[in-house]
Amino acid sequence: MVGGGLAGITAALDCAAGGMSVTLVDVRPRLGGAAYSFERDGLWLDNGQHVFLRCCTAYRALLQRIGSSQRVRLQERLEIPVLKPHCDPVWLRRSALPAPLHLAGTLLRYKHLRVRERLAAIAAAQALRRLEPGEGRLEEQTFGQWLGERGQGEHALAALWDLIALPTLNLPARDASLALSAFVFKTALFAARDAGDIGFHERPLSEVIGEPALEALRGAGVQVKLKWRAQSLQKTAEGVELRGGEQEGLSAEAAIIALPHQRAAGLLGDALAGELDSLAGLGNSPIVNLHLIYDRPVCEFPFAAGVGTPIQYVFDRTAAARLASGQYLAISLSGATQDAHADADRLRERYLPAMAELFPRAREAKLEGFFVSREHAATFRAAPGSAALRPGPATSLAAIALAGSWTDTGWPATLEGAVLSGHAAAAQVLL
């Protein structure tokens, strides 16, 4: 197993459960891949806020498998406070009615849209429910274009649709593939009334994912080699041989490559004779998180979305990071192409006044810490045409399988997609 993110962890557990002798290598000193925590001034901060939904059943089952279910919390009902400067909070909240009626009331009352826009949004949601994400023509259009044809202009995109598109697709609706958008909205919001209830990690990600996964893997008999950089992979008569710089090579009957897509293409370039060259076309989309430590509480919500402000989402991470006094808020910025290249001073200038505008108590509070985490290649770009570039778990060589949230799971690059890809790759080598 090459790569110890969620895809590699899942595949390794499945292969070990299937009776294989498994070695997992990862270049970093820890497991968890793109979902991890780091220490700064004595506080444990997540590289990025990670949420999941009740419909992420594979991810939730993995948490259970590694003994982490009690470190996460699911909302009883989907509920998002949406804040706009100088306005009262407006709630996006599902009701107990069956889908799709569970969202009708909240959309009708959603004051960040004009009444005409709300009615058009309900009609667009009904049309979205009828789309088939697998249909090729949906890959040729952006979600924004499709919404535009249904009376949803820039204002409605920013005030409503991007609240879901940005955190799930890591692109704004105007750039995102219609096919993936339709998948997300259908799966998360229309399939069942409770599908979109939001799940939060109540401890730093390393405590929820990386550390318990290491324990579970070792418990399952998997040999885990950290700080092990895979540099080349060759096909041999018995299977494959993996080389890693200074380290001794590893021979195996089969290898699952669970690396980020560009790295997988690089590692397998020779063995698969360019079969993965098209992966370069998947591109990357960045995520930036700003970590703000205030000397007192300024935000009363566990999390909130923003409209009419550059702040997309803000999360209260005080308890998760075990901050004894004051408040630790993390601003999460998805599809953050510009902010990913801005320096910390620029980001302070842009976001501190926006915080003060959204949270009046922030004006009096003292900012005791400000950190930036940037993930330039957080996910692939979920743009039109991406589906054709995502391979399945099988390659032309029976000894090599692929895993990763960029493979063809049907999901955008998510925790759920990564876990599903791990199951699929393990099933491939266990055949």
Ligand X SMILES: Cc1cc2nc3c(=O)[nH]c(=O)nc-3n(C[C@H](O)[C@H](O)[C@H](O)COP(=O)(O)OP(=O)(O)OC[C@H]3O[C@@H](n4cnc5c(N)ncnc54)[C@H](O)[C@@H]3O)c2cc1C
Interface residues toward ligand X, by CB under 6 A: 2-8, 25-28, 33-35, 47-48, 50-52, 167, 229-230, 258-260, 263, 287, 375, 378-379, 404-405, 413-416, 418
Query: For the chain, how far is it from start to end, CA to CA, in angstroms?
Result: 16
Distance CA 237, CA 233 (A): 13
Distance CA 381, CA 62 (A): 26
Nearer residue to ligand X within complex by CB, 365 or 417: 417
Pairing of strands 198-201, 51-53: antiparallel
CB of 153 to ligand X, least distance (A): 27
CB of 412 to ligand X, least distance (A): 8
CB of 188 to ligand X, least distance (A): 11
Distances (CA, A) of 10 to 264, 278, 319, 414, 424: 17, 26, 28, 14, 10
Nearer residue to ligand X within complex by CB, 193 or 291: 291
- CB 257 within 8 Å of CB 265: no
Nearer residue to ligand X within complex by CB, 43 or 402: 402
Other Cβ atoms within 10 Å of 204 Cβ, number:
23
Nearer residue to ligand X within complex by CB, 106 or 312: 312
Residue 406 is encoded by which pair of tokens?
A: 């960029």
Distance CA 375, CA 409 (A): 22
Nearer residue to ligand X within complex by CB, 229 or 350: 229
Residue type, 261: H
Nearer residue to ligand X within complex by CB, 230 or 311: 230
Pairing of strands 285-294, 327-334: antiparallel
CB of 29 to ligand X, least distance (A): 10
CB of 350 to ligand X, least distance (A): 19
Nearer residue to ligand X within complex by CB, 165 or 259: 259
CB of 198 to ligand X, least distance (A): 10
Residue with tokens 């889908």, as numbered in its chain: 99
Pairing of strands 232-235, 240-244: antiparallel
Nearer residue to ligand X within complex by CB, 35 or 160: 35
Residue with tokens 């790759």, as numbered in its chain: 425
CB of 218 to ligand X, least distance (A): 17
HSE-up of residue 403 (Cα within 13 Å, Cβ side) = 33
Residue with tokens 């009883």, as numbered in its chain: 76
Nearer residue to ligand X within complex by CB, 152 or 332: 332
CB of 64 to ligand X, least distance (A): 17
Nearer residue to ligand X within complex by CB, 48 or 144: 48
CB of 335 to ligand X, least distance (A): 11
Distances (CA, A) of 68 to 6, 144, 207, 255, 257: 13, 37, 8, 27, 25
CB of 428 to ligand X, least distance (A): 16
